[in-house]
Amino acid sequence: MKKHLITSLLMTLATTLLLGIAYPLLVTGMAQILFPDKANGQLLVREGRIVGSRLIGQAFSDPRYFHSRPSAAGYGYQADNSNGSQLGPTNRKLIARVEADLLPLRAENPGVPVPVDLVTASGSGLDPDITPAAAEFQVPRVARERGLSPDQVRRLVRQHTTHRQWGLLGEPRVNVLELNLALDGK
């Protein structure tokens, strides 16, 4: 019995050191060497200050900026509250929220269909991207508020549109934070 207990303790210690310390340090070190930007959360830095991450959406309410999709992760895209709303398409609460969100959007662009991603949250509630159609929908407002021509704003949207990976994976998308930072650079 004593021999089995010592073997068990030594095995626990060895696996803890190997799998709990050595392996995570090795993987973290390799990630820092091979992919430092990704390993550190793809942070965006402006004037020596971290302004956000390419991977997590942010709330923009100022009409001078493109707006992100609604977040089901609480106000401000709280990463510690990452989650979808868990409300099904026939849920009255979801329908009421979408209808309320549609009112100002329809007033902003009368007669123009509102892209669905401007009124629905992503599965994580933290999506940093919108569709090119959602960006296009917002071009007139942003151009008007910034005193730019719609063509200038559309050009920025095109420059910040990420196309399908290898031409077939994913959907075209626009990172809202990067686009808004580019607008501030104008």
Q: What is the pLDDT of residue 38?
A: 83
Q: What is the pLDDT of residue 37?
A: 81
CB 53 within 8 A of CB 44: yes
| Cα-only R_g, the chain | 23
Residue ranges for the chain with pLDDT beneath 70:
74-76, 186
Read off φ and ψ for residue 15, nearest 5 degrees: -70, -35
Axis-axis angle for helices 132-146, 176-184 (nearest 10): 20
Dist. CA 122–CA 71, nearest whole Å: 7
Q: What is the pLDDT of residue 75?
A: 63
Q: pTM (2 decimals)?
A: 0.77
Q: What is the pLDDT of residue 23?
A: 97
CB atoms within 10 A of CB 174: 24
CB 55 within 8 A of CB 42: yes
Read off φ and ψ for residue 73, nearest 5 degrees: -95, 30
Q: What is the pLDDT of residue 82?
A: 73
Q: What is the pLDDT of residue 47?
A: 82
pLDDT digits (tens, 9 = 90+) for 69-109: 888 776 667 777 777 777 888 889 888 988 998 999 999 88
